[in-house]
Structure 1
Amino acid sequence: MNPQQLAKKLFIEKFHRTSTLTTYAPGRVNIIGEHTDYNEGFVMPCAINYGTAVSGAKREDKIFHVYAAQLGQYDKFRLDQPIEPNTQYKWTGYVRGVIKFIQERCPNFTQGADLVITGNVPLSAGLSSSASLEVAIGKFCQQLADLPLTDTDIALIGQKAENQFVGCQCGNMDQLISALGQQDHLLIIDCRTLETFPTPIPSNVAVIIVNSHIKHDLVSGEYNNLRRQCESAAKFFGVKSLRDVSIAKFTEKLSELTALNAEIAKRAKHVITENQRVLDAMEALQQGDLRRLGKLMSQSHQSMKEDFENTVPEIDYLVELAQKAIGEEGGARMTGGGFGGCIVAISPINKVEQVRKMIADNYERRTGLKEDFYVCTASQGVNVC
């Protein structure tokens, strides 16, 4: 049973009536362009065929009564009173934060509802379960009260909720791809202008995700610290963001910045070179050049390992195994914020089983952890079911 059907079924069980509205928003995997979004750069994600469903119906009062099925937990709050965090359950911040900032845009939104949330995006795996929840809730509210919000508006409200209500200083990529994803396409996103450039995935190419089962929590500090370091680097160059620093300019000033702060120089190097890799990867994909795309993905991973320092040994080992199985016909790299989570691999379809076997035969033996292996389909963004 898919999340949409399960949410409808559970709504009847929990609230003893039939839901009238169901929304669904996908998780995402980022092929290349890590930590470039909050530096106003370029990213290349796709929405995946795992996501979050929200099913519900209006109430006669101004209360939101929410049931999170995977966790077996409820949350209840009023829309005609200031919305404050519920410190008991972390997931409630994504729901309350989105509704708080929807009210900021649409002050008359006080329509209560009962709703059920279900999803099948692996949690704490770097596949944006939080963004898919934010976007699904945003779309539910927009449809519930016929609010004048576009899907891009909903994505940016989701980002704001995560930044200002939950406390993770993420960029806008996760919410944008969850809202705007296109079937069978990767989406190049210019995170400054919000322009999107759909790029078809060749029919003979598989998008593979492997979950390391090293869980990460981006609110815990590392992610926000990386962002602060990038902002310090932009300040050094006298620009709004690292998007505005060319590789030539960076090279010219590298020794000066390194002398000032070697760690910040490394962070800047990753972001500035990664932006260029995304543009090069778009070109490689359009030309069907998997060999070049694979090399760019490998360079991206090395840059995260050495310059951004946000990989872990288990992730590095998964990348090594996947790359060994794929050879030169594709690539693998860490995906997501880092410090655990998943790798993504681009591979010819006829090599998928080799990749699966290589990882199954070696990863658990080395690490004591059993991986999850997914072959994903690039999917449509948020929708009403």
Structure 2
Amino acid sequence: MPALTDAVPAGEAALLRRARDEFAAVFARGATVAAAAPGRVNLMGDHVDYCEGYVLPVALPFLTVMVGAPSNSGTCRVVSVQDSGRQEASFPAPTAANPLKPGEPAWANYVKGVVANFPGPVEGFDAVIVSDLPMGAGLSSSASIEVVTFTLLEALSGIRTEPVRKAQLCQKAEHEFPGMPCGIMDQYVVTMAKKDHALLIDCRSLESTQVPIFNSDTAILVINTNVKHQLTGSEYPQRRAQCQAAADILGKPSLRGTTVEQLEDLKQSNCDADVLKRARHVVEEIRRSEEITKYFKTRDWERVGELLYESHESLRNLMEVSCPELDALVEVARATPGVYGARMTGGGFGGSVVVVVKKNSVDDLKKRVLSQYKGNPTFLLAIPSDGARIINI
């Protein structure tokens, strides 16, 4: 039996059954189409996707499942079912004369943005969303909702979209409706992940490489702090703006391709100290993403671990997006035998730490965290999984 601190995936079949039962209860008929999309954890490359860098995420076995059926009402009705209860939203199917706009409830903007950007007509529909993906853990629940919505619309309409374009449209939806200027990584990996692989994504060319990552002796453990610091909401856009400011000073479209020598030029320009720190993180993190990919392929876990620790220190000291809880978990992991390396993952200010650890040391690491970390962590195994798909029902 898993401990109460372990998050265990419910599985596609169980989530689909729950979603269909909820759909029948709410709409008094059966769903006709279904889709699933995973969350993700990023192994390397945080705060570089919006700088056109390299990132190395994997999809998780935790899913968002959405079921639906067309309606004749001209209205899109969506129900989200969570452990905390049921949330409902409805909005008119968009037309050229009456395009969709962001609004309340806020959670529905992730769905509305995708409906607004879908490359084909969207008629009225009813839908139910269920998920076992931990919310607020930095595991991309937002991209999971966006991509599963797009995939459901593909099933409803019969219109299929090329995967990179699909990811771009879901990213555009998040920019326009929730108003988050995210990079392309989350939507890309949620769309195109492959079981037993990480995905090295070139966020400039939008090309990618599947990186085999399965190993019988090594595990990727995610530790969720269950903390999300209340911020003004400007921190992520501010980091992005600071990185762009550095690129502008250097006369570049982005920080991609910037060298250490050019960072010295930036320093000599007397730019803002925070701008210089953000740029240094990006340049070094892009290098780490390329380098760690090689070591995952050769299973050089010692070097993988060193790069994970380097990344965390950079996110803490240069990008300044860590927090005491994330730092504490990394230090517990660092002191645990059998751990190769650990780093915060995601946008920061809370969320999760990702740890590469020997499988036979996982239980010891959990015990140490529970005894030494002054919080309420939960654990989940990041077993590299498949991306979004239509489910036959």
Aligned letter for 2:141?
Answer: S
1:266-310 alpha-carbon deviations (Å, 9 max, x no partner): 000000000000011011111110000000000000001100000
Runs of at least 4 residues off by over 4 Å = 216-219
Deviates more, 1:144-153 or 1:229-238: 144-153
Relative to structure 1, the CA distance from residue 219 to residue 167 in structure 2 (aligned partners, 3 Å threshold; closer, same or farther) is farther
Match of 1:129 among 137, 141, 165: 141
- Taking the aligned partners of 1:219 and 1:194, their CA distance within structure 2 comes to 31
Structure 2 residue matching 1:334: 3-state secondary structure: strand
Which residue of 2 is the match for residue 338 of structure 1? 348
Which residue of 1 is the match for residue 115 of structure 2? 99
Question: Is residue 72 from structure 1 mapped to residue 86 from structure 2 by the alignment?
Answer: yes
Which residue of 1 is the match for residue 282 of structure 2? 271
Per-residue deviation at 1:39? 0.3
The 5 Å alignment of 1:102-113 reads 102=118, 105-106=119-120, 109-113=121-125
Match of 1:183 among 177, 195, 219: 195
Relative to structure 1, the CA distance from residue 225 to residue 383 in structure 2 (aligned partners, 3 Å threshold; closer, same or farther) is same
Question: Is residue 154 from structure 1 mapped to residue 171 from structure 2 by the alignment?
Answer: no
Which residue of 2 is the match for residue 299 of structure 1? 310
Relative to structure 1, the CA distance from residue 219 to residue 96 in structure 2 (aligned partners, 3 Å threshold; closer, same or farther) is farther
Structure 1 residue matching 2:47: 3-state secondary structure: coil
Aligned letter for 2:100?
Answer: I
Match of 2:293 among 282, 285, 306: 282
Structure 1 residue matching 2:368: 3-state secondary structure: helix
Residues matched between the structures, number: 373
- Taking the aligned partners of 1:218 and 1:98, their CA distance within structure 2 comes to 26
Q: What TM-score, normalized to structure 1?
A: 0.94
Which residue of 2 is the match for residue 214 of structure 1? 227
Per-residue deviation at 1:219? 8.2
RMSD: 1.5
Which residue of 2 is the match for residue 256 of structure 1? 268
Aligned letter for 1:371?
Answer: P
Deviates more, 1:167-176 or 1:156-165: 156-165
Per-residue deviation at 1:218? 8.3
- Taking the aligned partners of 1:288 and 1:85, their CA distance within structure 2 comes to 46
1:73-119 alpha-carbon deviations (Å, 9 max, x no partner): 111111133212222x22101000111111xx32xx13211100011
1:124–1:217 contact (8 Å) kept in structure 2:
no
Which residue of 2 is the match for residue 324 of structure 1? 335
- Taking the aligned partners of 1:383 and 1:45, their CA distance within structure 2 comes to 18
- Taking the aligned partners of 1:48 and 1:219, their CA distance within structure 2 comes to 29
Question: Is residue 84 from structure 1 mapped to residue 101 from structure 2 by the alignment?
Answer: yes
- Taking the aligned partners of 2:157 and 2:252, their CA distance within structure 1 comes to 41
- Taking the aligned partners of 1:152 and 1:381, their CA distance within structure 2 comes to 13
Aligned letter for 2:224?
Answer: N
Structure 1 residue matching 2:180: 3-state secondary structure: coil
Relative to structure 1, the CA distance from residue 254 to residue 354 in structure 2 (aligned partners, 3 Å threshold; closer, same or farther) is farther
- Taking the aligned partners of 1:255 and 1:292, their CA distance within structure 2 comes to 30
Aligned letter for 1:261?
Answer: D
Match of 2:387 among 362, 381, 385: 381
1:310-330 alpha-carbon deviations (Å, 9 max, x no partner): 000111001111122145x52
1:332-364 alpha-carbon deviations (Å, 9 max, x no partner): 000000111000111121111111111011113
Which residue of 1 is the match for residue 238 of structure 2? 225
Question: Is residue 114 from structure 1 mapped to residue 126 from structure 2 by the alignment?
Answer: yes
Relative to structure 1, the CA distance from residue 141 to residue 24 in structure 2 (aligned partners, 3 Å threshold; closer, same or farther) is same
Match of 1:245 among 236, 243, 258: 258
Match of 1:348 among 340, 351, 358: 358
Structure 2 residue matching 1:169: 3-state secondary structure: coil
Structure 1 unmatched runs, 5+? none
Aligned letter for 2:161?
Answer: L
Structure 2 residue matching 1:19: 3-state secondary structure: coil
